[in-house]
Structure 1
Amino acid sequence: MTMLLTVLGIAMFAVGLLFSIAWHELGHLSTAKLFGIRVPQYMVGFGPTLWSRKKGETEYGIKAVPLGGYIRMIGMFPPGADGRVEARSTSPWRGMIEDARTAAYEELEPGDEKRLFYTRRPWKRVIVMFAGPFMNLVLAVAIFLGVSMTFGFATQTTEVAGVQQCVIAQSADRDTCAAADPVSPARAAGLRTGDTITAFNGEPVKDWAALSDRIRDTIGPATITVERGGREIVLNATLRENMVAKKDADGEVVPGEYIPAGYLGFAAKTEILPLSFGASVDRMGGMLENGVESIIALPTKVPDLWNAAFADAERKDDSPVGVVGAARISGEVMTLDAPAQNLFAMFLMLLAGFNLSLFLFNMLPLLPLDGGHIAGALWESVRRRIARLFRRPDPGPFDVAKLMPVAYVVAGIFICFTLLVLVADIVNPVKIT
């Protein structure tokens, strides 16, 4: 049964991956057609073609390797200075440029002269190239908000799940009371499991974050209003200073860091609760911020990935994962002992995170990524504006093909990184259990 559930999770992720790729390329396709650019091909996957059908002027198909996709637009790069597009140099670097330029004019037909990608104004090219990653962002946001506002997330509440018997510093490497440990303020005040704290020092509290901050800011006498058995009871407590976990600006616990603060001594109950639209947007913003930080930190992850793949080192929880690793996690999710709706929500969040990563990664201003073409179109717009400002001749389209040698280097680095992640995902995968 476990194997069947694992295969089901992997299959679900494969379907979600294919849909995400097709959705990305649909953004490019729809905007390219909107601006009159001819698109001979729309393909999901790479390698041999498994299925294809031509509709109108575009061939739609699915290829064997579901690790990406593409649309082929006519005239991605402008012709050379002499107006020719065929290769004509023995220089390896120049050959790369000319090969890319020639490929951009494959299947050129009569009438296509006005339907070339490079002939469109820069802002239209930006829209065409941005539309793909933007579709992934839209999908990520839609999934995230849907899960957040209908199913919800594990959230600490103001209900008491347990009362600490004594005061033990959270930085201490023990969880049992010693004879010299003082009684916890919560126990001394008579707080009980099942109580719901409704007010602190006479002021109402609606969520755990606000209550936690109030407790941390208080050392000494305090009143705690609780709901118990349908009645409100006011308890008197004397909070003590203790070493507690540090929180960051977003209210999240900073692992391994502790500060002195007020201490009451109880555990808050955790429930899965839907979030409001505003709270969901805030949480999505935090997810986006973490994604940007993760992309920036990718180069620093290489040593840990190498050690995890080839030196039998521990694979860290924040280690980058590829398609294989994400599929394994999806399979593992389906084997967890939890209600089906919980598992489905976890799978959807995994798919949302994958689409968010696709958006951020493709927006890097490097060829051959979409962000590289966007940067090229923006630079063309800037230099044309400068030329007009100083009454100079129009410099013409920016020849992105000249950056193809750099694009090959970047692609080589990406391929090496992808292979390293693949090996790590196979021999030392990230696990959620």
Structure 2
Amino acid sequence: MAVVAFVIGVLVVVVGLAVSIALHEIGHLVPAKRFGVRTGQYMVGLGPVIWSRRIGETEYGVKLLPIGGFVSMAGMYAPVKQRTRASGVFATLVQDARDANAETLEGVDDSRAFYRLPVWKRIVIMLGGPFMNLVLAVVLFSVLYSGIGMQQATTTIDAVAECVQPAESTASECQAGDPASPASAAGLLPGDRLVSLDGQEVSTFAEASAIIQDSPGEAIPVVVERDGETVSLSLTPVLAQREIADDAGEVTTQSVGFAGLTASIERQRQPIWAGAQATLETAQSVIGIVAQLPVRLWDTAVDLFTGQERDPNGPLSVVGVGRLAGEVAATEAPILDRVSVMVSLLGSVNVALFVFNLIPLLPLDGGHVAIALWDALKRGWARLRGAPEPAPADATRLVPVTLLVVVLMVGIGALLFAADIFNPIRLSGG
């Protein structure tokens, strides 16, 4: 059954990724058609075509590998009639790009070419894809946070420790001579719901913990709800060494008040805006990864060849995401917990697609936006000087840079594929 569950988890991610790509390309296709651009193809996936059908002027299809997609539009670049006089590999690449671009304009009304559109329409078309991924991410995270709910510690007591053990102790049971825990001595019981501590009403277990940690050696009044009745008790936390995690996730050992309480964990639905907040926080994390990509890729390569454990927050390929999804599906956790992780993974993938496609380099969407903005800048400058409107930017000159970006993307993909196969990030960390 574990193998079947693993396969199901992988398939869920593959289908989810394909849907994300399909919606991304729809984000380009719909405004392109709305603005009259001739769209020859709409393809989801890369590699060999496994299904296609022509409807009107557009061929819709699915390719074998769900790792990309494209919408073919007539005249993505302004045509350049004269052939390049330079020679060499780069000159050949530039000329080939010009010839390929010219082919998309054959038999097409020039007014339906992409490059003929006003700058704002070109930007809308190119941002339509990333925007769809952003919307899908918000939807997925909203389902996770506001629909399914997040596991949180409640004010209901799940367990009360019998004794206080030294921080360095590895014993699983209380030993003779271990003092009773403050919670046990105070008469707190599992199932009690904390109402107030030291005169302060508490709505979360974190608030209760903060009061306890700040009150070592002090007798503080505690009010709990037990079997529908209000019970007043007195709790005196002891001073103990405990590991405390700060907002950045760093764990330090501190001397704090300790009572010996464990909170019940329940799923609690968050406000409707929590999904958008989670999307923003994930985008910030992805931007940080992209900004540090060379360093992170180097670390990944070192870990791959040395066998060291990889950074769980490092970059992943599609293989890595699928593998994690399979491991999640194969765990013995409650089904809702597994679904939550899968939804979170797909939400994070869409955020990554959104951020990555905004990088202002061809062939990414951000590169086409940058060219459109450059055209707008040239036209604005010409109007200020009273000069004639300049010709559209010759983006084919950037083909060598585009090729370099493609090679880098392929290299990054190959490295991450290898790392995710031979030295994967695992849920257990091992």
With 285-294 and 66-75 compared, the bigger mean Cα shift is at 285-294
Cross-structure match for 2:110:
113
SS of match in other structure, 2:331: coil
Cross-structure match for 1:148:
145
Contact 1:316/1:430 (8 A) holds in 2: yes
5+ residue gaps, structure 1, are none
Tell me whether 1:103 sits opposite 2:96 in the alignment: no
CA, structure 1 residues 303+102, in 2 after alignment: closer, same or farther (shift >3 Å)? same
Q: Deviations over 1:222-254 (max 9, x none)?
A: 222211222222222234555544454xxx462
With 312-321 and 88-97 compared, the bigger mean Cα shift is at 88-97
Give the C-alpha shift of residue 322 in structure 1: 0.9
**Which of 363, 368, 374 is residue 369 of structure 2 equivalent to?**
374
In structure 2, C-alpha distance between the alignment counterparts of 1:185 and 1:389, rounded to whole Å: 77
In structure 2, C-alpha distance between the alignment counterparts of 1:383 and 1:182, rounded to whole Å: 79
Cross-structure match for 2:79:
79
Give the C-alpha shift of residue 112 in structure 1: 2.4
In structure 2, C-alpha distance between the alignment counterparts of 1:179 and 1:279, rounded to whole Å: 48
In structure 2, C-alpha distance between the alignment counterparts of 1:281 and 1:329, rounded to whole Å: 24
Cross-structure match for 2:341:
346
Contact 2:142/2:273 (8 A) holds in 1: no
TM-score between the two structures when normalised by the length of structure 2: 0.89
With 51-60 and 218-227 compared, the bigger mean Cα shift is at 218-227
In structure 1, C-alpha distance between the alignment counterparts of 2:128 and 2:63, rounded to whole Å: 22
Give the C-alpha shift of residue 68 in structure 1: 0.7
CA, structure 1 residues 111+372, in 2 after alignment: closer, same or farther (shift >3 Å)? closer
Q: Deviations over 1:281-331 (max 9, x none)?
A: 433433332232233232221233113322222233223221111112222
In structure 1, C-alpha distance between the alignment counterparts of 2:242 and 2:97, rounded to whole Å: 59
Amino acid at match of 1:418: G
Q: Deviations over 1:9-55 (max 9, x none)?
A: 22222221211111111111111111111111111112222221111
Give the C-alpha shift of residue 338 in structure 1: 3.0
Q: Deviations over 1:125-163 (max 9, x none)?
A: 111111111111111111111122221122111122233
Cross-structure match for 1:11:
11
After TM superposition, list the pairs within 5 Å mapping 1:182-201 onto structure 2.
184-201=181-198
In structure 1, C-alpha distance between the alignment counterparts of 2:243 and 2:275, rounded to whole Å: 25
Tell me whether 1:356 sits opposite 2:354 in the alignment: no
Tell me whether 1:384 sits opposite 2:384 in the alignment: no
SS of match in other structure, 2:375: helix
Cross-structure match for 1:236:
234
Amino acid at match of 1:228: R
Contact 1:25/1:42 (8 A) holds in 2: yes
Amino acid at match of 1:22: A
In structure 1, C-alpha distance between the alignment counterparts of 2:20 and 2:103, rounded to whole Å: 27
Amino acid at match of 2:141: F
CA, structure 1 residues 383+7, in 2 after alignment: closer, same or farther (shift >3 Å)? same
Give the aligned CA root-mean-square deviation in angstroms. Answer: 2.6
With 27-36 and 299-308 compared, the bigger mean Cα shift is at 299-308
Q: Deviations over 1:378-415 (max 9, x none)?
A: 23323432333344443332333222222221221221
CA, structure 1 residues 389+199, in 2 after alignment: closer, same or farther (shift >3 Å)? farther
SS of match in other structure, 1:78: coil
In structure 2, C-alpha distance between the alignment counterparts of 1:241 and 1:223, rounded to whole Å: 18
TM-score between the two structures when normalised by the length of structure 1: 0.89
In structure 1, C-alpha distance between the alignment counterparts of 2:175 and 2:405, rounded to whole Å: 59
Cross-structure match for 2:29:
29
